[in-house]
Amino acid sequence: MIKKVSFLLLTALIVAGCKNNNIEINGKLLAPAPGNFLYLDELRSTDLITVDSALISDDGTFSFSRRVGFPSFYLLKTDETNFLTMLLEPGQNINIKAYQDSLNYPASVTGSRGTELMMEYNKKLLGTITRLKSLYDVYIRNMGADQLAAVMDRLDSLAQVQLDDLNLYTKKYIDDNISSLVSLVALYQQVAPGEYILHPEKDFEYFIKVDSSLFRQYPDYEPVKSLHEQVLSLKSDLDAQKLKAPEFYAPATAPEISLPGPDGDTIMLSSTRGKIVLLDFWASWCKPCRNENPNLVEAYNKYHHLGFQIYQVSLDKTREAWIKGIEQDHLERWIHVSDLKYWQSVVVPLFDLEHIPSNFLLDREGRIIASDLRGEMLQKKLSELFNN
């Protein structure tokens, strides 16, 4: 599904009106290589078409003028690996300054809000990719070392923090620009080939958000129509999976957990029977988990006296980091357990965990009645349970 929508996104023109007008593109290349060509490509419905070219002058200046009738995606490039993607609208006068060998990350762009927004995102993306590469370099330097396993665990933790941060940034970027076509581009960003920042299933709500916003504005625009069709298809698939799941017919009882708490005493999940329990999986190194903890504190303070309990399982690797996270986020009042084995914890395959934060809401008999409730969704569900 991702490949299909990505292809359409990268090969489609935008239909938003029929008014003809000019776009003017002026710029200056820093450290130019005179005698080479700069190309202007238009992204059309089925392919990428070179619509103009300019010989790079001695001083690096260049200009293009084109008549368009609707917002369109264009590529300014020297070759297939060195290009700047632009979202241009009729009447715009765009000014660009960039090094010739790094058009992807120009020094400045003015006159095109859509292009500026994409450039803003690309800077964040480049920063994350650079930090991930530095972590990989540390791994390479430690290959063959006795402490390689410990180093890899640490690098995995740091990399996950970077990926989680970029995931949250991407979601906020989409929220802030939900009415712009740049939100469609953000859905399919990657940190490496095939490594998408947002996943259609895990982050389905954002595919729905973008679809709901853009389909109203551009119902005849091919990439938007394709996204709409894919969202409907994925929703149908997810609904079918729920129908096949045993819990659809009867709530499934949560598997037993028997792990030590901070003081070393074993605490069983089944010991919470008789209460509404949030079984929450987190770690002190997980930034989204830490961001969600204040919401858990609020929920606990509001409903604990009515029979609400939190059984929080950490995927930390050291007791020190685990305890520090509990203290810093003021989580001491509820139940904490961990085997301190990171992603090798016994709970990972037991609950089929692929990411954290992750949680399951259990009824008073220990049966799963909801999952992955965060923020307002958790507060709403608890209000329904306790106020009724």
CB 117 within 8 A of CB 177: yes
Residues 379 and 268 in one domain: yes
Structure pTM? 0.57
Count of structural domains within the chain: 3
Domain boundary (87, 111, 135) is at 111
341, 347, 351, 355: CA torsion to nearest 10? -20
6 lies in some domain: no
What are the C-alpha distances in Å from 18 to residues 51, 68, 90, 114, 254?
A: 20, 9, 10, 19, 58
Q: What is the pLDDT of residues 344-381, one digit of tens each?
A: 999 988 888 888 989 999 999 999 998 889 888 899 99
- Residue 250 belongs to some domain of the structure: no
Q: Please check whether residues 35 and 63 belong to one and the same domain.
A: yes
N residues, the chain:
388
74 shares a domain with 17 = yes
DSSP 8-class letter at 296: H
Q: Quickly count: other Cβ atoms within 10 Å of residue 326's Cβ.
A: 19
What is d(CA 305, CA 126) in angstroms, rounded to the nearest whole number?
48
77 occurs within a structural domain: yes
Q: What is the pLDDT of residues 183-199, one digit of tens each?
A: 988 998 998 888 899 98
Q: Does residue 35 sit in the same domain as residue 155?
A: no
Is residue 3 in some structural domain? no
In the numeric block, which tokens belong to residue 308?
């609400």
Q: What is the pLDDT of residues 264-301, one digit of tens each?
A: 999 999 999 999 999 999 999 998 899 999 999 999 99
Domain termination residue (choose one: 186, 217, 244): 244
Q: Which of 210, 244, 278 is the last residue of a domain?
A: 244
Task: Look at residue 71 and tell me if it is in a domain.
Answer: yes
Question: How does strand 276-282 pair with strand 266-268?
Answer: unpaired
Same-domain pairing of 122 and 235: yes
Query: Are 106 and 124 members of one domain?
Result: no
Please check whether residues 268 and 173 belong to one and the same domain.
Answer: no
Strand partners, 335: 311
Q: For each of the chain's 388 residues, which pLDDT tens digit applies? A: 444 444 444 433 333 333 447 899 999 999 898 888 999 998 765 568 899 999 888 999 999 999 876 677 899 999 988 999 998 888 899 999 999 999 988 999 999 999 999 989 988 999 999 999 998 888 888 888 878 878 787 888 888 888 989 999 999 999 999 999 899 889 989 988 888 999 888 888 899 999 989 888 878 777 778 788 888 888 877 666 655 554 444 457 888 999 999 999 999 999 999 999 999 999 999 988 999 999 999 999 999 999 999 999 999 999 999 999 999 999 999 999 999 999 899 998 888 888 898 999 999 999 999 888 988 889 999 999 988 6
Percent of the chain with pLDDT strictly greater than 90: 50
> The domain containing residue 366 runs over which residues?
258-387
The rounded distance, in Å, linking the Cα atoms of 256 and 270 is 7
- Are 296 and 183 in the same domain? no
The CATH number of the domain holding residue 317 is 3.40.30.10
Evaluate whether residue 72 is within a structural domain: yes
Whole-number Å distance between alpha carbons of 189 and 267: 42
Query: Using H for helix, E for strand and C for coil, what is the string for 298-316?
Result: HHHHHHHHHCEEEEEEECC
Based on the domain organization, do 162 and 239 belong to the same domain? yes
Do residues 158 and 67 both lie within one domain?
no
In a domain, 98, yes or no: yes
The answer to whether residues 128 and 230 belong to one domain is: yes
Say whether both 133 and 105 belong to one domain: no
